[in-house]
Amino acid sequence: MMKINGILKKLPYTEPFLFVDSLLKITENSAEGVYTFKDNLSFYQGHFKNLPVTPGVILTECCAQIGMVCLGIYLLTKEGEIDTEGFQIGMSSAEMEYLLPVYPNEKVRVVSEKIYFRFSKLKCKVVMYNDRDQIVCKGTIAGMLKLKSDA
């Protein structure tokens, strides 16, 4: 079984496009992690004037990285050890509902539940909470996850 730190090291992202600070737990059927949207992120400069808000597409990306990619890496390692060079990912669909804004320096928690993982496709139900435990956004995200050797 892969440890949480091993999953984080295998993520195919780096700053400024890494939206996972830590994983709180991960199982075969779920993942939970956190991220703080730091106030120096470039998209806050223009979104919006005098009241910066995290764009919905970035909230979706955070949900995907924690809820689908981290869980996908965990599931793929059950089939054999993967490394960053041998891992491919592509989001195939996302249907999200945005309920509350996320401001600079706000910490969020993403909880993901696996709907299915078959034929290299992972589909998850995701919910993002703010630090007051209110739902920020929720929906479903799906993507293809596989080793390059399977291509």
Domain boundaries, the chain: 4-150
Structural contact between residues 35 and 128, judged by C-beta atoms closer than 8 angstroms: no
pLDDT of residue 87: 72
The domain 4-150 is classified under which CATH number: 3.10.129.10, 3.40.50.2300, 3.90.226.10, 2.40.128.20? 3.10.129.10
Angle (CA) 145-147-151 rounded to 5° is: 95
In angstroms, the CA 79 to CA 59 distance is 30
Which pTM value belongs to this model?
0.92
The one-letter amino acid code at 44 reads Y
The answer to whether 60 is a known catalytic residue is no
- Both structure tokens of 126: 């995701």
Residue 114: the pLDDT is: 98
Could you give the maximum distance between any two Cα atoms of the chain, in Å? 49
- Averaged pLDDT in 10-residue chunks for the chain of 151 residues: 80 94 96 97 91 97 97 82 67 96 98 95 97 98 80 53
Q: If DSSP codes are grouped into helix, strand and coil, which group holds residue 93?
A: strand
Query: Active site residue: 47, 121, 125, 138, which one?
Result: 47
Any idea what the Cα angle at residue 70 is, between residues 68 and 71, rounded to 5°?
A: 65
Burial of 35 from C-beta contacts in 10 A (0-12 / 13-18 / 19+): buried
Contact of 108 with 65, CB cutoff 8 Å: no
Question: 108: closest CA among 116, 99, 117, 121?
Answer: 99
What digits encode the pLDDT tens for the residues 80-94? 656 555 678 889 999
